[in-house]
Each structure stands twice: as C-alpha cells, then as structure tokens.
Amino acid sequence: MSESHATRERSYVRQFELSIGRVPLRLHVSDDRLFSEASERYRAFASSQNEPFAIYLKNSFSANGGNPEFAYDFEAQQGALRAFAGESQFVGADNPYTLDCLLRILLTWMLLPRSGFFLHAATVIRDGRAYLFTGKSGAGKSTVASLAPEGSVLTDELSLVRREDGVWRAYGTPFWGEFRAGDSNTSAPIAGIFRLVQAENNRVAPLRSVELLRAMIGNVLFFSRQPADSQQLLNIVSRAAQELRGYTLEFRKDRTFWEVLPA
C-alpha cells in the first residue's frame, strides 16, 4: 500500500482505499498495528477511485438512521458486520483474519448489483483468458493452481466473477487458500468453467447450462438470507451458466491435463 493511499483522517483513525473486483472500498482503521498488517496484506489492491464504499472498524455498532440492508454475525471469529446504503460497520475485526473474512462476506453482498459473485474456484490465466476450476474442498483447486505456470494463477481458492459490458470476467482477489494474500489485481475474460474430478486419465466433457448451474451453485460463497438477495444471486449465476461454457474435467495430478482443455 503506497503512502498516497494511506492518510490520516483524524489523529486516531487512518484510512486506506482499495479495489477488489472493481468494487472501490475505503477502510477506516484506528488500530495502528492492524492498519499496518492490513495495508501490507492488501497492498496489491490499493486504489483510489471515486466514491469508495466506507468501512468503519468499530468496537460496537452505532445507530445509522435505520436498519441495515445486510447484516451478518460471524460467530466463529466474534466478528459482525452491518451494511447500510452508503457505508458498512465491522465489529470485532481486531485482527487481519477476521477483517479478511468480513471483507469477503461484505463483498458477496456488494457484488449482487454488479452482476457478480464469488465462486470457490482456482483461476488460471492462459493466453489472456481465464480458466476457472471449481469444486469442493479436496477437489483439486490448489493442485491445478500448483501445476499452472508461475505467475498465471489469479487465485487458488476463491474466484471473483463479474459480468461487465456483456463480458464475464474473472478478477484477481487477495483471498487465497490458507490465508495467503494474492498479489494480482487484474482480470481476464472467462474461457470456461471446469468442474474438477480427479481421475486416472484426462478427459473433458461439455456441460449443459443447467448442469453448469448445478456445478456452480453449490460452490458459490453467499451469506445473505434475504429472499430478494437469493433471487438476485440465482438470476446472476443462472445467466452465467447460460452464457459461459462449462465442462467436467477429469484430470490426472500432473501437467498433462492442460492438453485436453478446449482453446
């Protein structure tokens, strides 16, 4: 994080701006150590854009003139968030891990009006296009990422997918498996989404739209329990399933599986 993005708002609150999946955010942090750790973690995603969505890290929620549009209590980490039209408040985000979790949760909601969603998938860039490999834990996402050429992996765990100007793109995120930070704030048009199946031989088979939807929906990261939000998410993922190419990829745990991927 460069100094140009890190300024003192008041004597005890520091702020920095970042952009994840072209969603501009501004964190307001009063804890010096957390500010330093977060600045380092999100360094590659520092950005100054117009009208960033403000996130205030607080000790307790303050009244904000109404009910939150989105609320989530992350009990495992004793963290919670409340999101309003113009800002969000995080409570309990006193360490980088909880902050990271609340950021992910908030973004799942913020991506809805932006035709986006998070998919548990590794993303690898090849010839300028994004190949997404999805599956549950243990399916082989990290394996695929480890077998990709150095510098070609946008994420090994959580892919950010958005439709912009009629094109579905995958974005790099700071969210990697095992809490490793990503370092590529770039994006690429999506070539295809591959449902991973470990096998003895490499083979790729196309999926119908409803099959791709089925492959994706169970791997979408989502937290809102509001019916309207669920409907919006289903609409977005269904559109992705109809407009993107999907495949089942049976693969061996070596580099040879790249040879069967469609161009």
181 is a contact residue toward another protein (CB under 8 A): no
Residues binding another protein: number (CB under 8 A): 22
226 is a contact residue toward another protein (CB under 8 A): yes
Alpha carbons 24 and 17: distance in angstroms, whole number: 7
Stretch (H or E) spanning 99: helix 96-110
Tallying the residues shown for the chain, one arrives at 263
136 is a contact residue toward another protein (CB under 8 A): no
| From 74, 224, 246, 251, residue interacting with another protein (rule: CB under 8 A) | 224
Alpha carbons 160 and 262: distance in angstroms, whole number: 22
Q: Give me the residues paired with residue 196 across strands.
A: 249
146 is a contact residue toward another protein (CB under 8 A): no
Identify which range of 22-30, 33-41, 71-79, 214-222 contacts another protein by CB under 8 A.
Answer: 214-222
| From 2, 49, 231, 256, residue interacting with another protein (rule: CB under 8 A) | 231
| From 217, 245, 258, 260, residue interacting with another protein (rule: CB under 8 A) | 217
206 is a contact residue toward another protein (CB under 8 A): no
Residue number, 29 or 81, with CB nearest to another protein: 81
Asked if 180 contacts 213 with a C-beta cutoff of 8 angstroms, the reply is no
Q: Distance of alpha carbon 241 from its chain centroid, rounded?
A: 18
Backbone φ, ψ for residue 125 (5° rounding):
-95, 130
Identify which range of 72-80, 127-135, 211-219, 247-255 contacts another protein by CB under 8 A.
Answer: 211-219
91 is a contact residue toward another protein (CB under 8 A): no
Asked if 31 contacts 16 with a C-beta cutoff of 8 angstroms, the reply is no
213 is a contact residue toward another protein (CB under 8 A): yes
Stretch (H or E) spanning 211: helix 209-217
| From 31, 87, 94, 229, residue interacting with another protein (rule: CB under 8 A) | 229
User: Could you tell me the two tokens for 98?
Assistant: 């909880």
Identify which range of 38-46, 133-141, 192-200, 238-246 contacts another protein by CB under 8 A.
Answer: 238-246
User: Residues with Cβ < 8 Å from 118, sequence gap 6 or more?
Assistant: 104, 107, 108, 111, 158, 159, 160, 161, 220, 221, 222
Residue ranges binding another protein (CB under 8 A)? 208-210, 213-214, 217-218, 220, 222, 224-227, 229-231, 233-235, 238, 241-242
